[in-house]
Amino acid sequence: MQTGQIVFAKSGRDKGKAFIVINIHEDYLYLADGKLRTLDKPKKKKQMHVQPTNYVAKLETDGRALQDADIRKQLKAFITRSIGEGGRPHCQKMM
């Protein structure tokens, strides 16, 4: 796992939703989706409760602070790209 990686929740109330890893602390990941789980209140989940993807979002913002809108744009781009490549629309209900 690494910061910026897109993951899917495997368990809990948010099962099946896409998140971006914001921070890693020991066995826990801090996840944000920019909508319900913002950068101010990230979701804390154990690593074993998420399904990682191979996609790592670019979190650089050209000198300004990272915002929730940046997170939403990255997730939307990932989801539309995976649908366009014939993948399953895992999180269409989220956007």
- Residue 93, pLDDT score: 39
Catalogue all structural domains in the chain, each as residue range(s) with its CATH number: 5-87 (2.30.30.30)
Dihedral sign, Cα of residue 8, residue 76, residue 67, residue 65? positive
Q: Could you tell me the two tokens for 18?
A: 């896409």
CA 59, CA 34: separation in Å to the nearest integer? 13
C-alpha dist (Å) from residue 26 to 3, 31, 44, 49, 51: 13, 14, 12, 14, 17
- Residue 11, pLDDT score: 86
- Residue 86, pLDDT score: 57
- Residue 74, pLDDT score: 87
- Residue 84, pLDDT score: 63
Q: In this predicted model, what pLDDT tens digit does every residue of 22-76 receive, in sequence order?
A: 999 999 999 999 889 998 999 999 999 999 988 888 877 777 888 888 888 888 8
